[in-house]
Amino acid sequence: MKQPRKPPKLSPRRKRLLKRLLRTQGDPLTTQRLLVALAFRAVYEKKKRKEKGKRGKANARAARKRRIERNKPIVTAARSKPCADCNLFWGAERMEFDHVPERGEKTDAISTLVKCSTARLLREIAICDVVCCACHDKRERARGRTHGGDPRPCPNERLPGGCLWQSEAPTP
């Protein structure tokens, strides 16, 4: 069942026009002028609300864009460390944040928090370790989270002697 619509909020200007309309019940010319004024006022206010909404959205988009530009270098700097497990660095794009459950509960992914405040982003980075993609995959599998599919290839396998974290490294 549909709920009845609430009447629109009246601006002080429209309230004054309505009061004048109610006082001038006998004069048709004054009544007609007030009705026209009310109609124009309603159109004007609707247009202003629409413009204000667009400005609000544009301001929000601009603020989000500024936060992303401010927070991306922070994330890149945090990823520019060697892996916490294998102690190798494969470039910031190959390093991942691993949320350590003992340090605190994960609120959201770092890639999502880039759009949020810097303080919230730094709080989330503080509860993470920076690990390469293969070591992150190994940690997730040890926790019982597989995300489906085969494990990712280890970037360390390109090294002579094979992967450092595998129990049996391939012989050359």
Percentage of the chain lying above the pLDDT 70 cut:
73
Q: Is the pLDDT of residue 171 over 50?
A: no
Predicted TM-score (pTM) above 0.85 = no
Confidence of residue 170 (pLDDT cuts 50, 70, 90): very low
Q: Is the pLDDT of residue 158 over 60?
A: no
**Cross-strand bridge partners of residue 99:** 128
- Is there a contact between 13 and 41 (Cβ–Cβ < 8 Å)? yes
In the block, tokens 């890639």 appear at 111
Residue 107 identity: T
Q: What is the CA radius of gyration of the chain?
A: 31
Percentage of the chain lying above the pLDDT 90 cut:
20
pLDDT in tens, 56-75: 788 888 889 999 999 999 99
Q: Is the pLDDT of residue 130 over 90?
A: yes
pLDDT at 165: 47
In the block, tokens 């460390």 appear at 81
Q: Is the pLDDT of residue 161 over 70?
A: no
Q: What are phi and psi of 97, to 5 degrees?
A: -90, 125
> DSSP readout, the chain?
-PPPPPPPPPPHHHHHHHHHHHH--S-HHHHHHHHHHHHHHHHHHHHHHHHHHHHHHHHHHHHHHHHHHHHHHHHHHHHSS--TTT-----GGGEEEEE-TTT----S-HHHHTTS-HHHHHHHHHTEEEEEHHHHHHHHHHTT---SSPPPPPGGGGSTT--SSSSSPPP-
pLDDT in tens, 85-101: 888 888 888 889 999 88
Which has the minimum average pLDDT: 25-34, 120-129, 142-151, 155-164?
155-164
